[in-house]
Chain A
Amino acid sequence: MAPTEYQNKTDEELAQSVLSDANALVVLIRRYESRLLSYIRRISGSSIEDAEDILQESFMDAYKHIANFDPSLKFSSWIYRIVHNRTISAYRKKKKELGDMSIDADDDAFKRMMAANDDTARLADQNLTAETVKKIMKDMSERDRTVLILAYMEEKTYDEISDILRAPPGTVATWIRRAKQKFQKAAIHLKPGTNNI
């Protein structure tokens, strides 16, 4: 099939075509490359080069194990899971803690996180900057940081996060609620104008 004919296909249809034609993978990579790079950098704070290496290995993993993909699941959840696991294991192998998350000052994602509920929205009004968010996120545990990024920056639903992190949706909801509380608590201490930053 010509690559142009793949453009109208859904991710799940493309994933099923990969076994018979590897070119379908190229279309999928084009669709996901930039957002997965951002995701890797957000959860690991790695350099662009490191993130690209991780992503390349992740796509290679996905290609090798494409027969494992369950078409009743979303392809995006499946590829996020592979990328997530690759990122975490890459950093664990290096016995290195995850670095600062990477957020650009004009990145709207962190504002979405701020607007997640009334209290944090109020903090956002008080000029909680991208730098402050980075600092708060850096001090959070790996899991808290990951669920907040997936929920508010990657805008994944609870079910999608459940599929990515392989945890029950109820547990994911609890993790997000607790992470939000921790974030709010830290944001109150770190908001501009106080001496804590």
Chain B
Amino acid sequence: MTSIADQFKEKIEQGKMPEPIPRWRVQFKHAALWILFCSFVVVGTASSGVAVWFMTDPGGLLFEYKNGDALSRILDLLPLFWILLSLILAVGAIAIFVHAPRGYRHRTVVIGGAVFLAFIAFGGAISATGMSDKIESAASRMPGYKYIQRPRMAQFMQMEQNTIIGRIQETHNGWLLLQDPRGIVWQVDVSQCVSRQNNILEPGNCVHIIGVPSTTVEFFEAEQLLPCPRGVRIQHVQQYLKGQVKEPVR
């Protein structure tokens, strides 16, 4: 009986062997996978940085505009888009690493834990360095992001509940003029107000005011004065509202 080695030798001599996959194709595939892995890690870390930045917003955490239960408050405050994006990219990065040539040598749970820890640690670092603001600002220019941002902004514009955001136009003794994103100018009584920042009462500042639920257009009684919540940018709100809002009723 002919050995397998002899059968192969015969095939080689007769030129019946198929072409092996060229090395460049394998190297290209590996390089593409590692580039994809690195992209997932970089974008995932950036996303988790933005998520951490939102979640650690003191203004957001102090936000007491409605009497909903704790769970619904937490869900409202969680930047679900960024958390979901981080999770998807983390799972993608784990899957690529597990299937990498040497990935099987590590337990999936260890790889998963390491990726999640790295995302949280580096995300925290990105948030601490202030990069998250720039990342979120850049993301807000992408088409479609407004659909994620708008519901969050709308939460802060509920005067009948007790909350309003806007830009300070003028400050006076015990009151100020505030222009909301729709262009309406409000007179805000700040005489009973607690401010958490010394220099917050400067014209041009974007502020978040929590106060007495307002039933009167253009007048609001403030109890707390906070900087605008993270991710809320008046100019963006104005862009979103442009064309949607009719002239304010006087």
Q: Which residues of A contact B (CB under 8 A)?
A: 18-19, 22-23, 25-26, 29-30, 33, 52, 55-56, 59-60, 63-68, 70, 162, 166-171
Contacts and interface: CB of A to CB of B under 8 A. Distances in A.
A29 B25 CA distance: 25
B20 A63 contact: yes
B18 interface: yes
Interface string B66-108: 0000000000000000000000000000000000011011110
7 contacts: A19-B20, A19-B23, A55-B4, A59-B8, A60-B18, A66-B21, A168-B104
B104 A59 contact: no
Contacts of B3: 30, 33
Given A67-B26, A162-B105, A29 B8 contact: yes
A53 to B, nearest CB: 10
6 residue pairs, one from A and one from B, having the closest CB atoms: A166-B104, A29-B5, A67-B23, A67-B26, A30-B5, A22-B12
A67 B25 contact: yes
Nearest to A170: B107
B104 A162 contact: yes
A25 B13 CA distance: 13
Contact of B105 (A23, A70, A169): A169
Interface string B1-28: 0011101110010000110111101100
A126 to B, nearest CB: 39
Given A26-B12, A68-B26, A56 B18 contact: no
Interface string B35-56: 0000000000000000000000
A111 B172 CA distance: 96
A14 to B, nearest CB: 13
A170 B9 CA distance: 40
B103 to A, nearest CB: 9
A168 B23 contact: no
A67 B104 contact: no
A22 B21 contact: no
Contacts of B101: 70
Given A168-B107, A169-B105, A67 B22 contact: yes
Contacts of B102: 70
Given A67-B26, A70-B101, A171-B107, A22 B17 contact: yes
Given A63-B17, A70-B102, 10 more contacts: A19-B23, A23-B9, A25-B8, A29-B8, A33-B3, A64-B20, A65-B21, A67-B25, A68-B21, A162-B105
Contacts of A25: 8, 12
Contact of B21 (A56, A67, A162, A168): A67
Most-contacted residue by chain A among B9, B17, B25 (CB, 10 A): B9
Contacts of A60: 18
A169 B110 CA distance: 13
Given A29-B4, A30-B5, A66 B107 contact: no
B4 A59 contact: yes
Contact of A56 (B7, B22, B107): B7
Contacts of A171: 107
Contacts of B26: 67-68
Nearest to B11: A22
Contacts of B104: 162, 166-168
Contacts of B8: 25-26, 29, 59
Most-contacted residue by chain A among B17, B22, B101, B105 (CB, 10 A): B105
A66 B5 CA distance: 17
Nearest to A36: B4
A26 B20 contact: no
Interface in B173-201: none
A66 B26 CA distance: 10
B4 A168 contact: no
Contact of B4 (A56, A70, A166): A56
A70 B22 CA distance: 14
A23 B7 contact: no
B102 to A, nearest CB: 8
